[in-house]
């Protein structure tokens, strides 16, 4: 009978019994359940248990906080319940059954866009900065921008567009195609090529379509029919649809085509047909949807029910950003400015930027103890408040979904106030908080009031919902876990990194006795060597495996927590053996302790190949980190100290 048997029995009963558990696992401090019917869990009684520190539900998982003894509790629980635990990934997979369609769709979208987040954030910050220097009329009585006053900043503005265009005009369709194809198990390089065909320089830029006469749009002439040559710069929906088409075409042809010719037939047929579908069908459908939305917006902004329109537009604008269709509003804005010397549409767009940024600001508050989350949250919030919402939407709000809805709600409230007061902008281009500087002077006070609504409402709603969902608790728990792990690691490092152990049995010699000029002259770094009497290379110190030679398998690179980098090299010129006689026992990225076996080798095969089997340990960045003392001229056993640092 285990220490927690009785508590485990009680928890089993309170979660609804064995039959209500679809999957269970644990992490550092929590039991993670996927329940068949979450309503059967008696949360109040569970949290009243002495062994339980709290509970919350996240992404379809019911998580019960046990603390540092969770591993022992978990063993007793699975024994009492008579079930087998599964991995955390399996629990996440099973948890999808507790998610609705919107949650699943958001999860898929997050997985697609997660690899693109670094580029989106970078592009967002760059575009936000460019907005400030080339769109804000702050100088000479509000008649000139910084770019107009300074050739340096004009050049910088022009140069930075190189990156901005690469990210948002070209990179998003290409990146999405690559990400979707990779996620769905297709051939990623074909996804990249498909994406490039959507933004080719041969096509009319998507931004120019609205201002180009129909008879001036280039087209492909196939004799029996023509197809417009239109690009899909910054478009999301056409890229996703095209990539999915490519994936399913690949799967179809792989089932149909014999294996002997798949390498030729499958990529050719799949890519050609996917590109045809993208330009002949999927692209035009996207533009039809965009045109319909533009018509509705134009009617709403000039009609009698503009407050109703404002609420609807303020609510749906952020979802339009996801599809890329929001760019269609630029043409409407320009027409409104030409006809009425101002636009009431752009102010609502700026407010939507602010509202989504305010939702991210609330997530910064809720996750204030989660350093990893803040690395995404903070730059996304900054770029959003500067008028570029993609990092916030794709990097944060869609990931959790409820901040996205809270931002949409706050945007709708702010838009109603904005439209009802007739707030009008002179120009477009300046979004987010700087958007107030593009407003007509008489509209600045009313727009400022709308900005307050766009900041306060999403922030309060996101904090309220986030606390109900336990986001703040989860952040605190994760922060405590990280702190505990870092503390333990720091103590271990202080105790262990001062002493390096012998990595083999054998005679310890100085590097100058190694028959290799690179090592013996200290070109790679200082260290020592061992003439081995055994054939298993072990880690001399705790650290992370950072370098492995996949072809030759004769060397290992490690990085210690303090930043020290070491290289372990078995034999001289053994790279020529191309891995014959060598076997890795670890993987790149793995963290190991001193004494962990890293690889095995055959001394006999090394000798037969005509190479010395002397094995070196070199500290490649000694001067950057610490000083070391090398103990040579001794016969060591694996695990004995041979290097000391001070």
The residues annotated with a catalytic role in the active site are 27
Scan for tokens 């996804």, then name that residue.
Answer: 191
Number of alpha carbons in the 13 Å side-chain half-sphere of residue 618: 23
φ, ψ of residue 99 to 5 degrees: the values are: -105, 145
Of 91, 81, 103, nearest to 19 (Cα)?
81
* Axis crossing angle, helix 402-420 with helix 444-468, rounded to the nearest 10: 160
CB-CB contact of 50 with 77 (8 Å): no
Helix-, strand-, coil-residue percentages of the chain, each rounded to 5: 60, 15, 25
- Say which DSSP state 593 is in: -
Of 312, 468, 455, 317, nearest to 402 (Cα)?
468
Neighbours of 590 (CB within 10 A): 13
Exposure string over 10-35, b if 16+ CB within 10 A, otherwise e: bbbebbbeeebbbbbbbbbbbbbbbb
* Axis crossing angle, helix 444-468 with helix 471-496, rounded to the nearest 10: 70
Distances (CA, A) of 629 to 342, 528, 594: 75, 10, 18
Distances (CA, A) of 455 to 385, 429, 574: 10, 20, 64
φ, ψ of residue 521 to 5 degrees: the values are: -90, 0
Counted residue by residue, the chain has a size of 646
d(CA 172, CA 363): 25
What is the token pair recorded at 502?
A: 């012998």
Helices (H) and strands (E) counted in the chain, each on its own, are: 25, 20
d(CA 602, CA 605): 5
d(CA 298, CA 286): 19
Neighbours of 309 (CB within 10 A): 23
């Amino acid at each position: 009978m285990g220490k927690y048997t009785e508590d485990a029995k009680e928890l089993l009963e309170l979660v609804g019994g064995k039959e209500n558990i679809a999957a269970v696992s644990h992490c550092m401090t929590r039991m993670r359940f996927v329940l068949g019917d979450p309503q059967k869990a008696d949360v109040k009684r569970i949290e009243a248990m002495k062994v339980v520190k709290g509970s919350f539900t996240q992404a379809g998982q019911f998580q019960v906080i046990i603390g540092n003894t969770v591993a022992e509790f978990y063993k007793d629980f699975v024994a009492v319940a008579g079930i087998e635990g599964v991995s955390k990934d399996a629990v996440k997979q099973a948890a999808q059954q507790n998610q609705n369609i919107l949650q699943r769709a958001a999860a898929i979208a997050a997985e697609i866009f997660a690899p693109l987040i670094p580029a989106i954030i970078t592009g967002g910050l760059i575009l936000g900065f460019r907005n400030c220097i080339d769109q804000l009329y702050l100088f000479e009585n509000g008649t000139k921008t910084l770019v107009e006053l300074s050739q340096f900043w004009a050049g910088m503005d022009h140069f930075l567009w190189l990156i901005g265009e690469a990210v948002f005009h070209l990179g998003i369709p290409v990146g999405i195609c690559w990400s979707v194809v990779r996620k769905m198990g297709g051939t990623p390089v074909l996804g990249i090529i498909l994406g490039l065909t959507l933004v080719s320089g041969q096509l009319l830029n998507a931004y120019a379509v609205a201002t180009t006469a129909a008879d001036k749009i280039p087209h492909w002439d196939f004799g029996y029919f023509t197809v417009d040559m239109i690009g899909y710069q910054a478009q999301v929906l056409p890229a996703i649809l095209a990539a999915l088409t490519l994936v399913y075409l690949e799967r179809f042809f792989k089932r149909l085509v014999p294996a002997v010719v798949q390498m030729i037939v499958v990529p050719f047929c799949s890519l050609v047909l996917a590109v045809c579908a993208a330009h002949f069908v999927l692209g035009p459908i996207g533009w039809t949807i965009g045109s319909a939305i533009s018509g509705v917006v134009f009617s709403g902004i000039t009609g009698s029910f503009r407050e109703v329109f404002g609420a609807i537009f303020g609510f749906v604008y952020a979802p339009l950003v996801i599809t890329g269709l929001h760019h269609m509003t630029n043409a409407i804005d320009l027409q409104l400015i030409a006809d009425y010397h101002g636009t009431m549409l752009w102010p609502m767009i700026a407010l939507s930027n602010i509202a989504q940024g305010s939702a991210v600001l609330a997530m910064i508050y809720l996750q204030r103890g989660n350093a990893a989350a803040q690395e995404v949250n903070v730059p996304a919030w900054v770029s959003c408040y500067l008028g570029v919402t993609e990092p916030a939407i794709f990097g944060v709000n869609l990931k959790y979904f409820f901040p996205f809805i809270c931002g949409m709600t706050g945007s709708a409230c702010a838009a109603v106030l904005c439209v009802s007061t007739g707030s009008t902008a002179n120009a477009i281009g300046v979004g987010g908080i700087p958007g107030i500087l593009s407003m007509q002077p008489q509209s600045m006070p009313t727009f400022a009031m709308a900005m307050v609504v766009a900041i306060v409402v999403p922030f309060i709603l996101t904090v309220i919902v986030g606390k109900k969902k336990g986001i703040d608790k989860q952040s605190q728990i994760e922060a405590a876990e990280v702190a505990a792990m870092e503390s333990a690691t720091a103590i271990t490092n202080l105790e262990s990194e001062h002493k390096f152990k012998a990595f083999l049995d054998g005679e310890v010699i100085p590097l100058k006795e190694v028959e290799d000029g690179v090592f013996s002259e200290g070109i790679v770094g200082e260290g020592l060597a061992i003439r081995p009497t055994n054939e298993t290379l072990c880690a001399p110190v705790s650290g992370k495996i950072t370098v492995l030679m996949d072809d030759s398998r004769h060397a290992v690179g490690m990085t210690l927590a303090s930043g020290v980098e070491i290289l372990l090299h078995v034999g001289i010129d053994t790279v020529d053996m191309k891995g014959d006689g060598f076997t890795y026992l670890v993987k790149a990225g793995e963290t190991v302790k001193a004494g962990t076996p890293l690889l095995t080798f055959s001394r006999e095969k090394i000798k037969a190949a005509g190479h010395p089997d002397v094995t070196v340990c070199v500290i490649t960045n000694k001067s950057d980190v610490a000083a070391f003392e090398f103990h040579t001229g001794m016969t060591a056993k694996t695990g004995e100290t041979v290097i000391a640092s001070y």
